[in-house]
Homo-oligomer: A and B are copies of this chain.
């Protein structure tokens, strides 16, 4: 990589910052809520159009039972290696709507931040990469690597069909290295690069005890589905956060010495985290290395939603006919979603809750890529150039994603790439946002990675 090339590209990005931002606004304005099948197809078409504008040859690849994968190829004459870039065009549901300060699908800049559903996760990554490629092409002219651009439309509902899709398209997706979805800058601005992801098993437990809601005066003799769920859930996890499902911890690997070394270098700013989320203290009063070990290497059982009966203002005296709880289990290597789901179902039977139905909504396996690879090295080195701060390497991300489907089938090294979000980006929550500055730096980082590889 020539230093002059890099400067030329960076200058181009700065000059065209408004265009870069407007392109992201354009994509973020298109709803694409996979959980609600809202605008997903329209978004795929728009992504295709935007990828073509950056020079890709693009196809919408049909996915059995799911939204299409937008797949683009950009061959560079003389380039010997190929990088596959992963991102997704779907977003989380915007609810609760009344907590947004601006419309979730009408992106808006306020005080240097861009607000809108998906700007951090994952449309900023997607558009930023297209802008980086355009910057290189409009300045240096030629990319030193071939690119494959893989954009799926159901990441937020667990990439249900991705595993099968990757297995069937190994040749098409073959590459020498992979840039995954980007990471986050920590509260001090340090970019983080991650080498793996936790798994995710998302389950809904449903109790239905009657065909109609009843006046609650009948409660002495009629069953109550919310109570059924409460008693059942109480057998799932104790107040020390220990999951009580038989065999839940069977395949959990302890962090290795290398892992612990990486953990030690992760500067988790405890007070910043607590302030960002408005919590008084971490669970069980955790601090320091114990806090980090728990965050990165502990599997969880989390209630994401509980719904039963009357939820409006005041009182309604009703004995509800049904209750539902959404639970997310984050899994660590070498747990497996199928095994845990089977154990959850067995647990319900064993604890005399076979009247409660367990429905699997999502499943993604945990994944880990090696630390020692060219793509990781280049990502780390160029991060220093762009952010003027040393990158932090996370052995595994505490969030989940479909990385395992790629890792297991395609066996390429992976790095997470640029960082446009921060802990206060409110990913998955109302008022999702990124700093415009972080978005522009992310574009520069990707450009630097591609030029340096």
By a beta-carbon cutoff of 8 Å, the part of chain A in contact with chain B is 34-36, 92-93, 95, 156-158, 198, 200, 202, 209-224, 226-227, 230-231, 233-234, 237, 239, 241, 273, 276-279, 282-283, 286, 291, 294-295, 298, 300, 302-321, 323-326, 328, 330, 361-362, 397-400, 426-430
Contacts and interface: CB of A to CB of B under 8 A. Distances in A.
A295 B220 contact: yes
Given A215-B428, A219-B330, A305-B318, A210 B277 contact: yes
Given A93-B312, A221-B283, A315-B156, A214 B34 contact: no
Contact of A429 (B212, B233, B273): B212
A156 B35 CA distance: 37
A277 B222 contact: yes
B317 A328 contact: yes
A34, A36, A95: residue with the most chain B Cβ atoms closer than 10 Å = A95
Contacts of A211: 277-279
Given A294-B220, A399-B217, A35 B314 contact: yes
Given A217-B398, A217-B400, A220-B398, A326 B330 contact: no
Contacts of A239: 231
B36 A313 contact: yes
Contacts of A216: 300, 302, 304, 328, 330, 428
A300 B156 CA distance: 41
Copy number of this protein in the oligomer? 2
Main secondary structure of the interface of A (DSSP, over half): mixed
B426 A212 contact: yes
Nearest to A277: B210
A95, A216, A273, A295: residue with the most chain B Cβ atoms closer than 10 Å = A216
A410 B398 CA distance: 66
Given A213-B430, A303-B226, A312 B279 contact: no
Contacts of A209: 279
19 contacts: A35-B316, A36-B312, A36-B313, A157-B314, A157-B315, A211-B277, A211-B278, A212-B276, A213-B429, A216-B302, A216-B328, A219-B328, A220-B300, A221-B295, A226-B325, A305-B308, A306-B307, A310-B326, A318-B428
A226 B210 CA distance: 24
Contact of A315 (B214, B286, B321, B362): B362
